[in-house]
Amino acid sequence: MDKPVLRAHNVVSGYGKLQVINGVDLHVNEKELLTIIGPNGSGKTTLIRTLIGLVEMFEGQVFIREKEVSHMRPHEIIKAGIPLGYVPQLANVFPSLTIEENLKMGLFVKKWDEYYLKRIEEIFNLFPILGERISQRASLLSGGERQMLALARALMPNPEILILDEPTAALAPNLAEDMLQQVVTLKKTLGISIILVEQRAKRSMELSDRGIVLVTGRVAAEGPSNELLQEDTIRKLYLGVREKS
């Protein structure tokens, strides 16, 4: 097995006194798409926010590329040059910044003018729509375009691992499918690892390599996606597949 790009041991975290994540082990391998599914409020968002330091971790350890990042604040992780891209579930762009400024924010800790020129062509190839509206404010974009901008911003620093929190949440069904396909394409063409949190559990599981089912802050099931897709209880409870009678 390859060395994992990100691994976390016994993560316990939450908000103040409220413990939401109750001891989770997790890893993502190189060039792997890991999907995290689970019911609303099961702690998916909290878990990935803990990994990058946005939520306080009470116990446990997190390593990204063999470097321990436990208890580091997010800006410290980024400043340490850890190749990470994150797209949050809500508020995924800077609305009052222009598209160009949003993209530059992905390079904040670097000499951004220089890097921007290097990266922008590839980004515009992936997301042509952004190139046409470069000096507009992000607040003027539609939900789908925002999602693209968010993804583009996260990709600007050329990350090795991308963490996406429900990228299809605000999208119409056909756009959601496009987005999921886009994620798979990114994984293949850029050769990066992706952690994907998704409500469209079945579809995203079909497209991913491995899956985790999170229930009340614990890992209820874990394994290669095709295996999870076969298991009856998981199909019934978490993938929303109705059995034919």
Residue closer to ligand ATP by CB (options 22, 136) is 22
Of the ranges 23-31, 33-41, 83-91, 180-188, which one interacts with other proteins (CB under 8 A)?
A: 83-91
**Site track for Mg ion across 14-53, x = CB under 5 A:** ------------------------------xx--------
Tokens of 193: 């690892």
Give least dist CB 89 to Mg ion, A.
Answer: 5
Site string for ligand ATP, 25-64 (x = CB under 6 A): -------------x-xxxxxxx------------------
* Smallest distance, ligand ATP to C-beta of residue 169, A: 8
Residues 6+ apart with CB under 8 A from 16: none
Q: What is d(CA 84, CA 113) in angstroms, rounded to the nearest whole number?
A: 20
Q: Which of 108, 128, 143, 227 is in the footprint of other proteins by CB under 8 A?
A: 108
Residue 3 burial by Cβ neighbours in a 10 Å radius (0-12, 13-18, 19+): exposed
Nearer to Mg ion, 6 or 47 (CB): 47
- Whose CA is closest to 138, among 173, 101, 175? 101
Comparing CB distances to other proteins, the nearer of 103 and 234 is: 103
Q: Where are the beta strands (DSSP E) in the chain?
A: 4-15, 18-29, 33-37, 57-64, 67-68, 84-87, 161-165, 193-197, 210-215, 218-224
Closest alpha carbon to 44 in 242, 207, 234, 201: 201
**Which of the stretches 62-70, 106-114, 198-206, 220-228 binds other proteins when contact is defined by CB under 8 A?**
106-114
Q: Least CB distance from residue 221 to ligand ATP, whole Å?
A: 15
Gap between the Cα atoms of 175 and 128, Å rounded: 16
Torsion of CA 211, 34, 206, 153, to 10 degrees: 150
Token pair for residue 239?
């993938």
167 binds, among other proteins, Mg ion, ligand ATP, none (CB under 5 to 8 A by kind): none
Q: Establish if 58 lies at the interface with other proteins (CB under 8 A).
A: no
Binding site for Mg ion (CB under 5 A): 44-45, 89
Binding site for other proteins (CB under 8 A): 52-54, 73-75, 78-79, 84, 86, 88, 91-97, 101, 104-106, 108-109, 112, 137, 139
